[in-house]
Structure 1
Amino acid sequence: MVTMADVARLAGVNASTVSHVLNGTRTVSEPTREAVLSAITRTGYRQNTLARSLARSSTTTLGLASRFVSNPHFADLVTSIEGSARAAGYTLVLADTHDDPVEELRAVHELADRRVDGILLAPSVHADAEALPFLATHRIPTVLLDRFADPEVDQVAPENTEATALLTSHLADLGHRRLAFVAGLAGLSSTSERLAGFQRVVEERGLSGVVLDGGSETDVAEAAVREAFAGAQRPTGVVVGNNSMTVGTLRALRALGLRSPRDVALVCYDDPEWADLVEPGLTAIHQDVPAMATRAVTMILERLAGTAPETSRRERIPPTFRHRGSCGCP
């Protein structure tokens, strides 16, 4: 294995000079720097990242514990977070929580064992009981993203209540009086906030509103919509709480021979990549995933650098209303 001493010998400098060139810890003359870089190229030297981490008490890695399977939204989130972390010189380590408290606790244990510098967590329903107390006890810098929880830690998520109220009001403005809301997994802050937006408009406008348990899953949402829309007095409009459940809703409507917007006006929270490829396109709330990812990474890096405020922060990223044809507008 090529060592730093080998590089120093070839470049005609001492090992500390090689270290300064690699780590930028001291100004080195340009000729010396070029000689060191040339020696590194010729020898194929690679830094021992483990030894460097032990010396610095930092692994320059961030952990991301989230649900990755079966939801494209989280795949987009991973991509954006990895880009932001890489731009800051950090490597991202992933752990899938499956939105299950037992798996979530295992995931944060695994990330902690890998000595990540900080953890980004999309909390499950019961994160307050297990995962978050563990992170607090071990003083691991943590930022919650996409969903809020009770503990006093930094958190960043999209705005949910007003956005869903906007979707619901839009259907009411189009004359719909019988509406359904396909709700996500009970207990998640995103689910309760989006449900609150729907229910507020239903109450304020004197509408008939039914809440369907979509469980944040395609198959669960499909079964719930098929049952609710099979009768003669079916809702004339539906608001769906996330992209996975939108797929299930579309499958259910197709199975029942119902078309959107001719038979059922459809709007949804989350704006999947294919939203404007179907006919008609989906009227949707579009999350600014890159902005949320960038802010989450910035928050945790500020904690690591000691530049964050003493009090924890809760921030919302505003989404965008994407108006297409599934709501029944021209």
Structure 2
Amino acid sequence: MATMADVARSAGVSVATVSHVLNDTRPVLPHTRQAVLDAIDLLGYTPNTLARSLVTSRTRSIGLAVSAISNPYFTEILQGVEAAALEQGYGLLIADPHDDPVHERKVVQLLHERRVDGMIVAPSADPRQLVAYLGRHQVPAVFLDRLVDTADGEAPADGAPADAPRHDQVCAESAEPTARLVTHLAELGHRRIGLVAGLPGLSTTRERIAGYRLGLAGSGLPYEERLVAHGDSESAGAERATAELLSLPAPPTALVTANNAMTIGALRALRDRGLSVPGDLALCCFDDFAWADLFSPRLTAVAQPSREIGAEAVRVLLERLASPGRPARTLRLPCTFVHRTSCGCPEPLPQSEKGTAP
């Protein structure tokens, strides 16, 4: 098995230079770097990551704790995290906290014990144990998709405003895009618009309810609490919530579902009652997904930049590792309104037919 010394002899450089190329610890002239890389390739040299971590106190690994199995939305985020980490030479250790605060605390501890350099976590609805563990052990972390505020147990840093974030956070906009869905339905003439909301306690749930109310207010419609039912961010819960809304004495004529899993549950509830979309009830959803364009009718949706969120979280975490003392920040990425036909709008003309004379 080739060693670092073998690589140095083949490239005609010192072992220290090979180390600098492998670890990016000092600038190396381009032709020298290429000579080292060519020697590594020729000899089939594989760096000893474990030995390197003992010297540098870094494992070049990132822990990712998201409910990827139970929530398809996080699968795309995972792909963004993995690609960005690999591009920067980092490996990925993945754990599924199942949106359970106790299990979340256990998997974060497990990742920490595996000596990851930092973590990316999509917090549960009750992240107090998570936040306490990360703070106690000073683990560099980025919160993903769901935000954590000071009410969730973080102590303000010295001199920091009381409402300042204590960890870096990366998410998509939620309130304004949800308001856009409600406004669109109102413009189509709907006056009773229901919302299938997510799991109580999640920041995404709070923000999408806020956006729902904002859209109603902007359209001159009153807020009715009974038109909001919690689907708990999963399909079965959304099926129950939709049935609850449909059982009202004056049921909604249009529905907004607050994530992709709940869209499936809502559609199942409508099918079981023999109701069609948009003939009997118009539907818009938060979260576009791969097969949304294949439904009949095609689903009008808000598309989140899932992979970009994952990649941005890696970038922010690596910046945190490079500059541990910088202030924490929250980054929000814009969403896209994808206009299809489940809202009741007609199928748009093909591009070739637009502008032609009748």
Give the structure 2 partner of residue 100 of structure 1. Answer: 100
Give the structure 2 partner of residue 298 of structure 1. Answer: 315
Deviation at 1:108, TM superposition (A): 0.9
Q: Is the 8 A contact 2:234 2:261 kept in 1?
A: yes
Corresponding letter in the other structure for 2:84: S
Give the structure 1 partner of residue 45 of structure 2. Answer: 45
Whole-Å Cα distance in 2 between the matches of residues 26 and 76 of structure 1?
Answer: 35
After superposition, residues 129-208 of structure 1 pair within 5 angstroms as 129-150=128-149, 151=154, 152-202=166-216, 204-206=220-222, 208=224
Give the structure 1 partner of residue 262 of structure 2. Answer: 245
Q: Is the 8 A contact 1:93 1:111 kept in 2?
A: yes
Q: What is the DSSP-based 3-state SS (H/G/I as helix, E as strand, rest coil) of the residue aligned with 2:190?
A: coil
> Which deviates the most, 132-141 or 186-195?
132-141
Q: What is the DSSP-based 3-state SS (H/G/I as helix, E as strand, rest coil) of the residue aligned with 1:316?
A: strand
Give the structure 2 partner of residue 289 of structure 1. Answer: 306
CA deviation profile, 1:251-276 (whole Å, cap 9, x unmatched): 11111111100000000100111111
> Which deviates the most, 182-191 or 79-88?
79-88
Give the structure 2 partner of residue 316 of structure 1. Answer: 332
> Which deviates the most, 242-251 or 130-139?
130-139
Whole-Å Cα distance in 1 between the matches of residues 8 and 203 of structure 2?
Answer: 56
Deviation at 1:239, TM superposition (A): 0.6
Whole-Å Cα distance in 1 between the matches of residues 65 and 89 of structure 2?
Answer: 19
After superposition, residues 265-276 of structure 1 pair within 5 angstroms as 265-276=282-293
Give the structure 2 partner of residue 111 of structure 1. Answer: 111
Deviation at 1:3, TM superposition (A): 2.9
Whole-Å Cα distance in 1 between the matches of residues 53 and 116 of structure 2?
Answer: 10
Deviation at 1:82, TM superposition (A): 1.0
Deviation at 1:2, TM superposition (A): 3.9
Corresponding letter in the other structure for 1:259: S
Deviation at 1:315, TM superposition (A): 2.0
Corresponding letter in the other structure for 2:56: R
Q: What is the DSSP-based 3-state SS (H/G/I as helix, E as strand, rest coil) of the residue aligned with 2:332?
A: strand
Whole-Å Cα distance in 2 between the matches of residues 97 and 170 of structure 1?
Answer: 36
Whole-Å Cα distance in 1 between the matches of residues 138 and 62 of structure 2?
Answer: 15
CA deviation profile, 1:303-326 (whole Å, cap 9, x unmatched): 1111x7732212211111111100
Corresponding letter in the other structure for 1:188: L
Whole-Å Cα distance in 2 between the matches of residues 298 and 290 of structure 1?
Answer: 13
Q: Is the 8 A contact 1:282 1:327 kept in 2?
A: yes
Structure 2 CA distance for partners of 1:141 and 1:274, relative to 1, 3 Å: same
Identity between Structure 1 and Structure 2 (%): 48
TM-score (norm 1): 0.91
Corresponding letter in the other structure for 1:142: A
Deviation at 1:198, TM superposition (A): 1.4
Give the structure 2 partner of residue 217 of structure 1. Answer: 234
> Which deviates the most, 262-271 or 37-46?
37-46
Q: Is the 8 A contact 1:178 1:207 kept in 2?
A: no
Whole-Å Cα distance in 1 between the matches of residues 223 and 38 of structure 2?
Answer: 73
| TM-align CA RMSD | 2.4
Corresponding letter in the other structure for 1:99: D
CA deviation profile, 1:265-310 (whole Å, cap 9, x unmatched): 000100111111112111111111233223222211111111x773
Q: What is the DSSP-based 3-state SS (H/G/I as helix, E as strand, rest coil) of the residue aligned with 2:233?
A: coil
Corresponding letter in the other structure for 1:164: T
Whole-Å Cα distance in 2 between the matches of residues 212 and 222 of structure 1?
Answer: 10
Deviation at 1:9, TM superposition (A): 5.6
Corresponding letter in the other structure for 1:289: S
Whole-Å Cα distance in 1 between the matches of residues 116 and 54 of structure 2?
Answer: 12
Give the structure 1 partner of residue 160 of structure 2. Answer: none
Whole-Å Cα distance in 2 between the matches of residues 298 and 148 of structure 1?
Answer: 17
Deviation at 1:21, TM superposition (A): 4.7
Q: Is the 8 A contact 2:77 2:308 kept in 1?
A: no
Whole-Å Cα distance in 2 between the matches of residues 169 and 22 of structure 1?
Answer: 54
Whole-Å Cα distance in 2 between the matches of residues 156 and 289 of structure 1?
Answer: 11
Deviation at 1:19, TM superposition (A): 3.1
Whole-Å Cα distance in 1 between the matches of residues 126 and 213 of structure 2?
Answer: 24
Structure 2 CA distance for partners of 1:287 and 1:37, relative to 1, 3 Å: closer
CA deviation profile, 1:146-203 (whole Å, cap 9, x unmatched): 0111142111211111111111111111111222110111100000110122133335
> Which deviates the most, 195-204 or 282-291?
195-204
Whole-Å Cα distance in 2 between the matches of residues 309 and 281 of structure 1?
Answer: 48
TM-score (norm 2): 0.84
Q: Is the 8 A contact 1:121 1:143 kept in 2?
A: yes
Structure 2 CA distance for partners of 1:14 and 1:200, relative to 1, 3 Å: closer
Corresponding letter in the other structure for 2:67: R
Deviation at 1:39, TM superposition (A): 5.2
Q: What is the DSSP-based 3-state SS (H/G/I as helix, E as strand, rest coil) of the residue aligned with 2:195?
A: strand
Give the total of aligned pairs.
327
Q: Is the 8 A contact 2:17 2:28 kept in 1?
A: no
Give the structure 2 partner of residue 325 of structure 1. Answer: 341
